[in-house]
Amino acid sequence: MDAIMLQEKLVERLLCPRVRTAKQKEKQYVGFATLPNQVHRKSVKKGFDFTLMVAGESGMGKSTLVNSLFLTDLYKDRKLLNAEERINQTVEIIKHTVDIEEKGVKLKLTIVDTPGFGDAVNNNECWKPITDYIDQQFEQYFRDESGLNRKNIQDNRVHCCIYFIPPFGHGLRPVDVEFMKALHEKVNIIPLIAKADCLTPTEIKKLKDRIREEIDKFGIKVYQFPECDSDEDEEFKQLDKELKECTPFAVIGSNTVVEARGQRVRGRLYPWGIVEVENQSHCDFVKLRNMLIRSHMHDLKDVTCDVHYENYRAQCIQEMTSKLAQDNRMESPIPILPLSTPDVDTEKLIKMKDEELKRMQEMLTKMQQQMHDKD
């Protein structure tokens, strides 16, 4: 209970401006200390948007978790395929959009679902449709941003991808590793351990350690929580540290409400007990929700814009300019910046000629030596 209260206090602090001290009152008061307030008002009026991608094998509890996170039911008319139909299934991309409002703040939430991932017998490159989709969104934003009329740009870029790791194994499987490596430079990845109610606490710890080790070993760049400022108080720092040590989060989802300890909570009813989704000693659902929605949503968006999108943009521009230089075409949709990098071909030619010259010089010196000896 304490942890939750603390977090709420801190969130309030972020939203409200700092109280002016008596000393500051004595100085000349210009008034730009109300800027955070203004930003806050404007953003609340504009509303926020957030695009979340969920990926993982079928039956891992993705839909249940999304419903639990946002307290909605996004998957009312879902058709699940049989095992036979899934033998050769390809991955689809399905978008669900929902508008949620809480305390006057509007959020336009888009969930990008990836049914069919990892379900076929041959899963070679099953992540390709997903990477293509992410690139497409980047490309669309890039074109909009470079266009003439930039008033109503729709930001469909994927801000975060949560990946569900099955809890039945000993760690990451090859398909998990390949998927994350294909995506870690395009989107913020947050790995989760799904269906964590089949693991005892010791097993959870062991699996988390294993997964963290393997993520390091394979060089997968998952989303890193930003370091907290040095002027935050100790408790916040402690919370932040605990959060970081808890990754990957072991989560359980539930669409049903059960009665436990006299309260009605979301949970799963078993003959041997009741698993409560929001109980921190049962699973990390609360931590995930707080992290995703309450504290780091904006940071996720920032990292997407500043890092992943910029990488994509730089790559795109470089490809375009080098291609244009080769084709010698004058028209282009965007103004070309002068090439700072020298042309690769001429450099190669120069290098070749240099080498030839060197070789001829060597031959000459050798022959001179020979003649000298003979004389």
Partner 1 sequence: MVSKTVTQGFSFNILCIGETGIGKSTLINTLFNTRFENEEASHYEKDVLLRPHTYDLQESNVNLKLTIVHTVGFGDQINKEESYKPIVEYIDTQYETYLEEELKIKRSLCNFHDTRIHICLYFIAPNGHSLKSLDLVTMKKLDSKVNIIPVIAKADTVSRSELDRLKIKIMSELVSNGVQIYQFPTEDEAVAEINSSMNTHLPFAVVGSVEDVKVGNKMVKARLYPWGSVQVENENHCDFVKLREMLLRVNMEDLREQTHTRHYELYRRCKLEEMGFKDADPNSQSFSLQDTYEAKRKEFLRELQHQEEGMRQMFVNKVKETEAELKEKEKELHERFEQLKRLHHEEKKNLEEKRRELEEEMNAFNRRRVAAETLMGQALQGASQPLKKDKDKKK
Residues of the shown chain interacting with partner 1 in the complex, contacts defined by CB under 8 A: 57-61, 80, 82-84, 86-87, 89, 119-124, 166-175, 178, 195, 197-198, 200-201, 268-276, 281-282, 367, 370-371, 374
**Unique residue bearing structure tokens 């350690």:** 209
User: Shortest Cβ distance from residue 220 to partner 1 (Å)?
Assistant: 15
Distance CA 239, CA 79 (A): 41
Q: What's the closest the beta carbon of residue 155 comes to partner 1, in angstroms?
A: 33
Tell me the residue length of the chain: 375
Which sign does the torsion angle of CA 196, 80, 68, 226 carry?
Answer: positive
CA dihedral 30, 35, 37, 38 (to 10 degrees): 110
Closer residue to partner 1, CB minimum distance, 61 or 191: 61
Nearer to partner 1, 57 or 113 (CB): 57
8 Å CB contact between 119 and 89: yes
- Dist. CA 312–CA 185, nearest whole Å: 9
CA distances from 167 to 146, 160, 191, 211, 309 (A): 44, 22, 12, 11, 32
CB of 285 to partner 1, least distance (A): 14
- Read off the tokens for 244: 């970081």
Report the nearest approach of partner 1 to the CB of residue 84 (Å).
6
Pick 36 or 166: Cβ nearer partner 1: 166
Q: Is the peptide bond before 201 cis (omega within 30 degrees of 0)?
A: no
Among residues 287, 301, 224, which one has the least CA distance to residue 50? 301
252 neighbors 285 (Cβ within 8 angstroms): yes
Query: How many other β-carbons are positioned within 10 Å of the β-carbon of residue 135?
Result: 13
* Comparison of 32 and 272: residue with beta carbon closer to partner 1: 272
Shortest gap between Cβ of 254 and partner 1 (angstroms)? 9
Q: From CA 256, how far away is CA 270, in angstroms rounded?
A: 13
- Comparing CB distances to partner 1, the nearer of 57 and 155 is 57
- The residue (of 62 and 186) whose beta carbon lies closer to partner 1 is 62
- Between 51 and 253, whose beta carbon lies closer to partner 1? 253
Distance CA 314, CA 337 (A): 12
8 Å CB contact between 195 and 61: yes
Least Cβ distance, residue 237 to partner 1 (angstroms): 27
Q: How far is the CB of 60 from partner 1 (least distance, A)?
A: 7
Least distance between partner 1 and beta carbon 171 (Å): 6
C-beta closer to partner 1: residue 88 or 311:
88
C-alpha span between 140 and 271 (Å, rounded): 51
